[in-house]
Chains A and B, each alone.
Chain A
Amino acid sequence: MKRLRSFAFWSSCAALLAACGGGDLYVPGSGSPSGAPTTKGSFTSIVSFGDSLSDVGTYTPATSLAGDGTPPYFGGKFTTNETSNGQPDANPLGKIWLENIAASLGIVVTPAEVGFGASSVKCPAAAVPALATTCTAYGQGGARVTDPVGIGHDVGALTVPVVTQIANHLARFGSFQSSDLILVYAGINDVLVQFDAFAQTAAQAQADAAAGQITADQANLALFAAQEKAHAAMKAAALELAHDVVTQILANGGRYVAVMTLSDIVDTPLGNSLPAEVRPVLTGLSQVFNLWLREGLTGQPVQIIDTFALFKDAYANPGRFGIVNNTVPACDPAKISAITGGQVTDGSSLFCNATPGAPYNGLRTDADVNTWQFADSFHPTSGGHKVLGDVFRAQLQSFGWL
């Protein structure tokens, strides 16, 4: 039979002069980057672009104990903050993954911009001349890939988008260096914005269907259209990010460039709080972004760190990383509300302090920042960030860069 088919195939090609070759069709996102360095880097800087997960303290002034933007501060990073340790050192407490990797390489990294609302300062570390080149952590909570109106922008968050973060780096430093370890990790806020829009349409459609104003099929079509719209926005954001990496980072001297995919936000307390039937939509937004990010970076000399697969594995096997609780946020919304005079009610880890004995400690009574993964509904504790840092570090080592 196989023989007959094979004969039939070739004879038909000959007889019909048809273009039988070609084989399988190209499926976007099935390629890979290629040509990234494979040798150890001599890194003197870590240049990081992204959002709250890479934010080393942009909004610290918003956590002023006096409430007027002046120190001392009780928060500032999207994790379980610790303010008692002061100087950068080997102690991972209160630090995010980026700081952990920097510390392991003996590199100091400081925020590219610090402030809130109308007042912000670019490269505040430059006040100390020796630190003038350390302000290469551009990640800002709420930041999106291209849209300057990120999450929290309406209440004063800077949310400088990644495209502008990169432009700011070029404006300050002129170009990228081969001694820069460049880490690009953005898109989660685009997922959240698009998911929010989808959820609103979904709620409306369900309400209309329940009220008998539209049929079940019409409601399904409305949901489908909303999902398609969200997918289109995620595709656009991913291709924009890939384009930024290629035309702004690689074309301006970037050599050691790692780009993170997006993880599955379903694997967080936020995701767990959603109805089961909409979780796949949330997962899909990250996956669509990842597909087109990969497509946009196919053949480009970068490395991709696939947080989707890595975090899923870590979430499914918390014990391997010393995590005992990955469902309950370590920060207590009630305590944070009390500490902030009722201004922060959502338990945002930006305002969560974990310093033992401090009056502004916002942890739940039984929480442990080293063994609980999440600080709030999706940001990691300092222990969770240590896991991220270790996972990323292992990836960078596997590339041969460290």
Chain B
Amino acid sequence: MSKVGSVAAWAFFSLCVIAVITLPVNLQTQLIVSVLIVTFMAVLKLANAGGRWRLIALAFGTAVVLRYVYWRTTSTLPPLNQLENFIPGFLLYLAEMYSVMMLSLSLFVVAMPLPPRKASSISEGKFPKVDVFVPSYNEDAGLLANTLAAAKAMDYPADKLTVWLLDDGGTLQKRNSANLVEAQRASARNAELQKLCDDLGVRYLTRERNVHAKAGNLNNGMLHSDGELIAVFDADHAPARDFLLETVGYFEEDPKLFLVQTPHFFLNPDPLERNLRTFEKMPSENEMFYGIIQRGLDKWNAAFFCGSAAVLRRKALEETEGFSGMSITEDCETALALHGRGWNSIYVDRPLIAGLQPATFASFIGQRSRWAQGMMQILIFRFPLFKGGLSIPQRLCYMSSTLFWLFPIPRTIFLFAPLFYLFFDLEIFTASGGEFLAYTLAYMLVNLMMQNYLYGSFRWPWISELYEFAQTVHLLPAVISVLLRPSRPTFKVTAKDESILESRLSEIGRPFFVIFAVLFVALLMTIYRVYTEPYKADVTLVVGGWNLLNLVMAGCVLGVVSERGERAASRRVKVSRRCEFGVADKWYPATIEDVSAHGARVQVYGIDPATLPTDTEGGIRFEPYSGSGAPETLPVAIRNKEIAGDITVVGCRYLPQVARHHSLVADLIFANSRQWSEFQSARRGNPGLVRGTAWFLWLAVYQTSRGLIYFLRSLRSSETQKEGA
């Protein structure tokens, strides 16, 4: 069957399904159909049916969702002449329709994600010249040293590889700033980084003025370089050694290719993961995007540039005069522009860089605000649906990616809708108990099942809702402000190097406590009304149940904004690498158990633990993957030790003194990207809807109590502060 034939067949069956769905059959029929379809879907899900069955299950789900939409549209809106009901009721309706639209767009995007690609190889002797750009604004030298060292250590012919540090923190503008402290700091930074770059064999580049933020910085880099390909790494994204070998080959295969994007893998938990303690066992938030959505986008040639961990073709970028800087998410905007000019992109689903997540909730929100505002700007300035040059699937994909960021608006509506009824007795959704059961409950169940079917092992039940809820409060004003004034927002760099040493409430956590209190009052109101108004207890219970769900979310978010202090500064990566451990010029056979950006844990054989007091200086000697093959020594200081028979486990901190030491650290941490894949796949398990929901409820209860305890503690400490004053 030809393409046209298969599309025609699909359209025909779609029309048939829509015709059957829009028949005004009665409630009993709907109820039976819902029960049957939910059962079928559950069976398919339990059987873990893939391939065609997956699409059949999704078609079932779509049928129930469309039945809901039909019913919701035709019979549940409050009458127009009751404006006090109609306006909030219609807003709720729009919010639901937005959710349905997003569901259908994401169904389109991830209907059949591309399986992992075959590795491409570069023809012998045809290595193209690659410029590696590491743009920086205010990151410290230690962080940059690791990244630059790792970039420099990538397996690639040295004469074809140039690493550039594009420093926007030491520009002429900054060095001559009227603010003396700032000017001094910029000059010092400029000098320090120049020295570091010289040591590492990396080109240092800064510019006169800080214009067009990151895009401007990258374009400046392009002006001074001439490589055929450009790899971009954020300051905290250190590449694995095989990064270029895994990505560059594709450019040879497809001359119209402008982008190879790889996932962002993070060594440390994001604030939610850290505060909820889910990093080790639950897939990270971004894995849904990099694990499924980018693969889905890739099917439609719509994988887009995510700012880092990607290789781009200079020729393509030159067509658009470099990176686009109209929005504050220059990455996606650039990809959109190039897709519009007929260039292709691909996505390689293998973590080839390791980066850092923002450490605090506030900086996490700051990062998300930038994404949300940037995507809104793209939506407004470039409206992808009507952008010329794009294929229809690409338009839909970009609409999906940008419209997603409107979520704070419907989330807010869902949060407050039950309160209209519980507090003000407004009926904004007219339905009977039976209809609610047959339509709404079926819709909700099917929705959860479809999500689980699509993203099951990448996203556990209710986690999307939690993340959206946690972001909504602060993203809502950000999104609305950009909708009102699209050109206002400016690029802000997300801080990645903060750390939280002691447990405290996030500085932007207060609104969540207010929301929690309101929802809790609404819960009390529910109970009160069930008893005092038994004649409408059914409606009250349904609305109260909805409010309870919001309350559970809000409670869980209390835990998110209660920041745990942490001892380990960064995440440890298991390596298991032979080495020698030396103290006072005596060397012992040893194995490196795990490493982090700041230190390592080493099993040493036959050493006398007594010779290892804390802060003793020593060294780890091992063969780096890069370099001549001779063993090299990395100086360390001993932090702690554990004795287990003949073996002493020593925890130590790196003491890098020269640039080469940074390369050694990078060699330890970033050398082997396979470890990251293994770590990720270890977390990827689908707990299923029931277990996932139970787990989430437990988590929510626990986090609520933790949040409340932190809150009380913060009250007490502010009291003592006052007393002290």
Are both chains from one complex? Answer: no
Show the binding face of B for A, using Cβ within 8 Å.
Answer: none
Chain A residues near B (Cβ < 8 Å): none
